[in-house]
């Protein structure tokens, strides 16, 4: 699945900013793809980009209208359908992060057919995956792992993509969740993949590459999360990660959605190495990424310094303080074999 860019961001009439979380994520990381937004009366979200009509969006070069919003139940409200049909008639593809399939709405399926346009349901996949093979493939891979869900695993690898490219690395973000798929224009939401094929899907998402190429894989869940550890393990095995960054949110007391306490960062490091060794015996940590948005700068810097000392790893908030230390560690641990990425 390759979603054509740039995007017209459809926000519908969502009642708050949170319902447009995916759209904000796309805007944060791919502002150059977000040409404009289309909002219905009553919409409480605003990406701060121009409001465009469908005709204006097409005229400015938009290729796809992105439904990067959620509504209760994940369904497509009746009054959005006419907008989607009109967008197809205007010549745009549609990409949706809703649970409901676009093509299941007859009017939308007919309009796509009539106009020869693509419908992308990011939460579903038409791709058929093989089961994972576990055979070592060329290219370098880094995976973000976590003490919990929603601790910054996507933002960490997106920041690393930017930071590593600035330092001359050939590095690509690899999405495993719906927002990430919109941000990269490709990839597979792992929560659309049937259990037997998790590792195989990850092998497909991050395939064999040049020896010095880095795939930066968005992790999911946590090896310590009772709901999602299986997904995290399949991702780890499929990634055959050379390197990993541990992501953490310091104000969290129990794991998201359950009563379990958070593991320590050291426990995550140890278990990731232990289990990751099955498909890559050389796996090693290269940093700690902490979401410090609830801490003042002084407290954040003190926490990061303490974590760096304790674990002998660069520790940073990738969004707030950058990823330079982690990139330095990657350069030191994995000296380029062929061409030089600058240190």
The binding site for its own copies (CB under 8 A) comprises: 131-135, 190-196, 198-200, 224, 226-235, 237, 257-260, 275, 278-279
Give SS3 for 308.
helix
Q: What Å distances lie between residue 67 and 4, 31, 137, 222, CA to CA?
A: 14, 16, 35, 28
> For its own copies, which is the closer residue by CB, 45 or 235?
235
- Scored b (16 or more CB within 10 A) or e, 308-343 reads beebebbbbbbbbbebebbbebbbeebebeeeebee
Least distance in Å: CB of 203 to its own copies?
A: 10
Taking Cα atoms as reference points, which of 34, 42, 37 lies closest to residue 13?
42
Least distance in Å: CB of 202 to its own copies?
A: 10
> For its own copies, which is the closer residue by CB, 25 or 221?
221
Least distance in Å: CB of 20 to its own copies?
A: 22
CB atoms within 10 A of CB 114: 11
Q: How far apart are CA 71 and CA 19, in angstroms?
A: 7
Q: How far apart are CA 250 and CA 242, in angstroms?
A: 26
> For its own copies, which is the closer residue by CB, 128 or 342?
128
> For its own copies, which is the closer residue by CB, 167 or 260?
260
Least distance in Å: CB of 143 to its own copies?
A: 14
> For its own copies, which is the closer residue by CB, 143 or 330?
143
Least distance in Å: CB of 113 to its own copies?
A: 19
Strand-strand pairing, 93-96 and 7-12:
unpaired
Q: How far apart are CA 48 and CA 9, in angstroms?
A: 11
> For its own copies, which is the closer residue by CB, 152 or 276?
276
Least distance in Å: CB of 200 to its own copies?
A: 7
């Amino acid at each position: 699945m390759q979603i054509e860019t740039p995007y017209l961001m459809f926000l519908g009439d969502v009642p708050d900013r949170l319902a447009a979380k995916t759209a904000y994520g796309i805007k944060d990381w791919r502002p150059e793809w977000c040409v404009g937004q289309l909002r219905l009366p009553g919409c409480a979200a605003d990406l701060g980009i121009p409001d465009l009509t469908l005709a204006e969006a097409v005229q400015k070069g938009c290729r796809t209208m992105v439904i990067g919003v959620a509504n209760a139940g994940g369904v497509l409200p009746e009054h959005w359908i006419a907008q989607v049909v009109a967008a197809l008639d205007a010549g745009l593809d549609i990409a949706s992060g809703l649970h409901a399939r676009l093509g299941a709405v007859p009017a939308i399926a007919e309009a796509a057919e009539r106009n020869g346009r693509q419908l992308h349901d990011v939460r579903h996949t038409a791709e058929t995956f093989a089961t994972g093979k576990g055979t070592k493939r060329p290219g370098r891979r880094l995976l973000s792992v976590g003490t919990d869900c929603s601790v910054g695993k996507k933002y960490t690898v997106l920041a690393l993509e930017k930071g590593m490219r600035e330092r001359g690395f050939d590095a690509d973000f690899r999405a495993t969740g719906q927002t990430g798929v919109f941000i990269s224009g490709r990839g597979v939401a792992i929560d659309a993949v049937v259990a037997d094929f998790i590792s195989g899907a990850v092998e497909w998402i991050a395939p064999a590459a040049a020896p010095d190429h880095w795939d930066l894989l968005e992790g999911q869940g946590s090896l310590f999360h009772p709901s999602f550890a299986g997904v995290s393990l399949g991702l780890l095995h499929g990634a055959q990660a050379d390197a990993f960054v541990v992501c953490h949110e310091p104000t969290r007391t129990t794991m998201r959605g359950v009563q379990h306490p958070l593991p320590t960062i050291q426990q995550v490091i140890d278990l990731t190495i232990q289990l990751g060794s099955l498909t890559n015996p050389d796996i090693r940590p290269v940093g700690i990424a902490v979401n410090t948005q609830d801490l003042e700068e002084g407290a954040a810097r003190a926490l990061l310094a303490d974590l760096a000392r304790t674990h002998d790893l660069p520790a940073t908030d990738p969004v707030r303080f950058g990823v330079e230390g982690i990139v330095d560690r990657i350069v030191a641990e994995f000296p380029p074999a062929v061409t030089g990425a600058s240190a």
